[in-house]
Amino acid sequence: MRKLLAALAIAFSSFFIAAPAYADEAPVYTSFLSRVAISGYDPVAYFTDGRPVRGSQQFSTTYRGYEYRFASAAHREAFRAAPARYLPQYGGYCAWAVSQGYTASADPTNWRIVDGRLYLNYNDEIQRRWEQDIPGHIRNANANWPSVLSR
């Protein structure tokens, strides 16, 4: 049993050590033990197709230690050319939650582009709350980000 626990400890510690650290970037929301951002949705598709589209591992790239998936090679290349243009705000965490001073996961199908920026929210109900005062919520979230990660 001790050997098993030691092996698990080593395996998990190497997972966290292997993840690159970028001092100028806050973490990106991913599911537990995953490095796939936006739950595998194509960040470029929100802007070009006007809807969320699942990406493919075939058209993926790594940016700042996280994997982004795309529906096509053209979308992947657009992202590579200007990643900041397509990245979801607040690391892909729920924009409304960040505006309230905490973090929550986001559902990639609850989204809005505002002033050329992609915002994700937790679910339909939270999306409706966020839409009641988008400028105010963005202002509050900007003030809270990224310090909200340490709360």
Looking at the predicted structure, is the pLDDT value of residue 17 above 60? no
What is the domain range of residue 73?
A: 26-150
Residue 12 lies in a domain: no
d(CA 17, CA 12): 9
Residue 16 lies in a domain: no
Cα dihedral sign, 78-83-85-91: positive
d(CA 1, CA 104): 35
How many independent structural domains does the chain possess? 1
Q: Which residues pair with 56 in a beta bridge?
A: 70
Residue 21 lies in a domain: no
Looking at the predicted structure, is the pLDDT value of residue 16 above 50? no
Residue 20 lies in a domain: no
d(CA 77, CA 132): 35
Residue 92 lies in a domain: yes
Banded model confidence at residue 25, pLDDT cuts 50, 70, 90: low
Specify the DSSP element, H or E, that contains 110: strand 107-114
Looking at the predicted structure, is the pLDDT value of residue 126 above 70? yes
Residue 109 lies in a domain: yes
Model pLDDT, residue 5: 45
Looking at the predicted structure, is the pLDDT value of residue 15 above 60? no
Residue 18 lies in a domain: no
Pick the closest to residue 107 from 87, 93, 86, 91 (CA basis): 93
What is the per-residue pLDDT across 51-93, written as a single tens digit (0 to 9) for each?
Answer: 999 999 999 999 999 999 999 999 999 999 999 999 999 999 9
What is the per-residue pLDDT across 35-53, written as a single tens digit (0 to 9) for each?
Answer: 999 999 999 999 999 999 9
Model pLDDT, residue 151: 79
d(CA 109, CA 126): 12
Banded model confidence at residue 30, pLDDT cuts 50, 70, 90: confident
Residue 8 lies in a domain: no
CA angle at 61 for the pair 45 and 57, rounded to the nearest 5°: 75
